[in-house]
Every structure is written in C-alpha cells, then in structure tokens.
Amino acid sequence: MSITLDIAAADYTRDLGDGLIAHWSTAADTEKIAQAAGQVFRGKESDPFNDRLANAVRVYMSGRIPIMGPDDYAIVEDRNKEGNPVVAGICLQRMEWYYDDIPFKMSRPEIVFSHPDYRNRGLVRTLFEFVHARSAAEGRLLDGITGIYYFYRQFGYEYALDLDSGKGVYLTSIPKAKEGEVELYTLREATETDLPQMQAIYAQRDRSSHAVSTLVDQDYMQWLVEDWHDHPARAEFPSTQIIVDAQGQVQGWLSVPMQRRGRSLNVWSMYTRPHLNLQAMLSSLLRALQSYGQQIPAYKPDTEAFSEIKFYLGQQHPVYEALGSVATITEPGYAWYIRIADLPRFIRHIAPALEKRLLNSPVEGFTGELKLDFYRGGLRLAFKEGRLETVEDWRSTVMNYSADGGFPPLAFFKALLGYRSLAELRQSYPDAWVNNEVLFNTLFPAKPSWAIVL
C-alpha cells in the first residue's frame, strides 16, 4: 500500500479487521499505551511489569518534552475487548541533526511494541506507514531508530551511523588525590541559571569534525535542567551535571543517569569549553564521577557493585586520548538504523557540504557526472565547476550500461553518512565498486559522527 500524507492527519483511522483499529493517539490514551509497553517490554512472561518503560511513555505523552506530544503515538486498539486495549504502538519523536554544519530535520520512531498475541499480522508495518507519513508531511529528510538486531531492516532501514561507542575506566585505576590537594574540577547539578553558559559551551563545539551530529536546542536543555524535575518519572531520564573549576567557573557539562543499572556509571554526553586541558581535568573529573556514582541508587537491589565509569562519546573524542592508558575498557558500540525515503532530496539539501569537500582537493572544480547503480534503482549527480547542479533518481539500461559505481540497496547510506569508507564497504560487499575513487572518497569520506539519543 502506498503511503499518502493523509495518514499523517490527527483524525486518520484505519480499520484492520477483527476489531483492530489503527489511529493516532490523544492524551486520553496515555495510560493504555504505558500499560501495553510495560507488559510487552519484558524478557520473559514471568518477569515483572516494566515500570521503567511505562514511565518513559508517560513522560513522552505528557506534552512537556520538546521532542513529541500526546498525539504522536501511532497505535492499534482491539475494540472487541473490554476497555479497547492498545496492542501495538510506535511513537514519533522529532529531532534536528547536522550534516557537517548543515542542519536538517529528522524523525525518530521509538518504543515500538506489539503484544505477543497480535504478532505476525502486519500491525507494526502498518504503524510504520503512519510515522513515515507524518515524518514526510513535516519535511523530515531522514528517519533514525535505535533498536533490536535486524528487525527494522524490514521497513527500509539500514545500519549507517555509529551508536554508543565508548571507552571506560575501572575505579581502581582512578588516580587518588594527594593529601590536602584541592580538586581542580568538581561536579554539581545544573540549574536554570546555568542554561546561558550551557548553551554557549554547546555552541562552541566543532561540528566540522563530525559527519553527523545532534542539535541539542534551547528548549531541550531547558527541559533537561528544569522543566521535568517534578515529574514522577524523573529518575528514568539523565541528570545534567555542571563541570566547575576551582575558581567556581563553569567549564562544561555532561549527562549521567540518576540510577545505576549495572556496575558502570555511564557518561552519555560531555561538552567543555574550547582550549581546555582535558588531561589536567580528567583526574579530578573521574574522582567526582566516582563520588556521584557512589551516591546514586541502584535500579534493583541485586545490581552489581559499582566498579567502572564509561564514556559513551562516539567513535572518537578528545576525552579518549586524554584518558590514555587509564582507559582500559573499550565499548565497540552498536549502530543507528537509518532510512532516507527521498535520497535526491536529502542530497540536494546537503549539497553545500559536498561542494565544500571538493575545495582544495585533487578534484576541485569537478565537472561531470557520478552515476551510482543501486541495482534496483540508482542516483545521478551532475557537477559543473565544483557546483552540484543536478541530483535525481536514475537507472541504467541493460544494453547501455553507464554507471560510475554500484552499491547494494541502502549500502550507500553508510558512505553518505561517513559510517564506512569505500574500502571498508568493498570488504563487506563484493558488488560495491566505483570507477573514480578519488572523486567518491572526496565527496563521501569516512568520518566519525555524534548522533546522541535525546
């Protein structure tokens, strides 16, 4: 079934037969969705109700978090059962990312579930039509999701962006403070008065070092620091901690959990002022994080003892280098699933970044075409004197084959987003090839990304 933008409308419903009705949520559906998610997200039937996921749903449906509202869950109800229970759902969250330094709107489907008794009926596929339609209606150029192995490949997604790579330190490796030594840096919880400095520090980060990065806007910072502190599910979301030097000046901020779910305290994001000596900072910072981790509660009574600190800051980060030999834990990470429904439109949007890459390169001022065969379709880029003039869907004919390169469907996303180099793709895909390697590698270099989960 083709997607129409009508599906994005708040009053759209679809009768799926047998009493199953798909529609967009309202605030009145909050508790039914929370109950369904809490029941489904369990490892086995004997496990207790998942309060954590239910609370997360309540926060997302509260209307207070900037990335979605109470009408952004696509759900299926069984109206043949008492109370019309929700049996499947996907929420649509809105974020903004950068490609190099070019902002673009993206969407993140999240907390995807279907009750075991209702699986293999295409309910999740139907709900993805809903969220993809709303994403398209809002002009969002990319959809990204984090989730279970393989599953989202079925809906047009491919692993194409780094997620949760990191380095870690055992508590026993943290240097001890000398007797009488004043800590150079300490941590304290962020308050609303810190927001201007947090925003200034965040704005000074170097976006050019990442192929893709997340925009943490003013509204989201406000929510993190202040807006949700009185919410019953506060512990399900991160605590924002301010890095303060010995003179009381704010030098950065980071996000850590409010409950420890394992032996590790995880640092999920970290931003510091430029030209800061990270190596000089880290001993004090590690001791401050150790103290914080010892003070927060464990999620369950049988949680492992606190023994390590992990920094999940992407494939590359200055903190990793500054930690040096102290960081003996390596987390290889997972990956974002990425879907780009209209590839020519996305590339037209990020064309200035591609043109910038041509400058001062061996192919500066390139005039010509780059035609890529995706075997079930393709892409044509036409340049004139280094300017990208045409981007369009393209397909070669059998008797007049004229491609300049080829990739299996969706594999090109990995190169486009800097996740894999051409050489790395060739190792995995024998049917990946390019004639003009210098041009391709200039336009699509392997490059780390920092797409954090809000």
120 Cβ contact list (under 8 Å, min separation 6): none
pLDDT band at 405 (very low <50, low <70, confident <90, very high): very high
Tell me what percent of the residues of the chain surpass a pLDDT of 70.
97
Q: What is the model's pLDDT at position 231?
A: 65
pLDDT band at 34 (very low <50, low <70, confident <90, very high): very high
**Count of other CB atoms within 10 angstroms of residue 298:** 15
The Cα–Cα gap between 227 and 166 comes to 29
- The yes-or-no verdict on residue 48 having pLDDT over 90 is yes
- The yes-or-no verdict on residue 399 having pLDDT over 80 is no
Measured over the CA atoms of residue 115, residue 49, residue 157 and residue 134, the dihedral's sign is positive
Distance of CA 412 to the CA centre of its chain: 19
Q: What is the model's pLDDT at position 183?
A: 93
Average pLDDT of the chain, as a whole number? 93
| Segment 219-268, tens digit of pLDDT | 989 988 876 666 666 666 789 999 999 999 999 999 999 999 899 999 99
Q: Dihedral through CA 165, CA 171, CA 176, CA 182, nearest 10?
A: 60
Asked if residues 142 and 157 have their Cβ atoms less than 8 Å apart, the reply is no
Topology, domain 337-443: Nonspecific Lipid-transfer Protein; Chain A (3.30.1050)
- The yes-or-no verdict on residue 4 having pLDDT over 60 is no
Q: What is the model's pLDDT at position 134?
A: 97
Q: What are the phi and psi torsion angles at 153 (to 5°)?
A: -60, -30
| Segment 344-391, tens digit of pLDDT | 999 999 999 999 999 999 999 999 999 999 999 999 999 999 999 999
The Cα–Cα gap between 35 and 290 comes to 36
| Segment 168-200, tens digit of pLDDT | 999 999 999 988 888 999 999 999 999 999 999
Q: What is the model's pLDDT at position 225?
A: 87
pLDDT band at 137 (very low <50, low <70, confident <90, very high): very high
The Cα–Cα gap between 65 and 82 comes to 31
| Segment 290-333, tens digit of pLDDT | 999 999 999 888 999 999 999 999 888 999 999 999 999 998 88
- 5-140 and 166-332 share one CATH topology? yes
Burial code of 243-265, b = ≥16 C-beta within 10 A, e = fewer? bbbeeeebbbbbbbbeebebbbb
Q: What is the DSSP string of 280-297?
A: HHHHHHHHHHHHHHHHSP
pLDDT band at 403 (very low <50, low <70, confident <90, very high): very high
Q: What is the model's pLDDT at position 232?
A: 64
Domain map (residue ranges) of the chain: 5-140, 166-332, 337-443
The Cα–Cα gap between 140 and 79 comes to 33
Q: What is the model's pLDDT at position 230?
A: 66
Which alpha helices (DSSP H) does 63-206 contain, by range? 123-137, 195-203
The Cα–Cα gap between 257 and 240 comes to 9
Q: What is the model's pLDDT at position 452?
A: 86
Q: What is the model's pLDDT at position 186?
A: 96
Q: What are the phi and psi torsion angles at 447 (to 5°)?
A: -155, 135
Of residues 76, 64, 81, the one with CA closest to residue 33: 76
β-sheet bridge partners, residue 266 = 310
CA end-to-end distance (rounded Å), the chain: 32
Q: What is the model's pLDDT at position 237?
A: 76
Which homologous superfamily is 166-332 in? Gcn5-related N-acetyltransferase (GNAT) (3.40.630.30)
The Cα–Cα gap between 17 and 399 comes to 47
Q: What is the model's pLDDT at position 299?
A: 84
The Cα–Cα gap between 89 and 76 comes to 6
CATH code, 5-140: 3.40.630.30
Q: What is the model's pLDDT at position 342?
A: 98
Q: What is the model's pLDDT at position 1?
A: 41
Lowest mean pLDDT among 18-27, 346-355, 388-397, 445-454: 445-454
Q: Exposed, middle or buried by CB within 10 Å (0-12, 13-18, 19+), for 169?
A: buried
Q: What is the model's pLDDT at position 2?
A: 47
pTM: 0.93
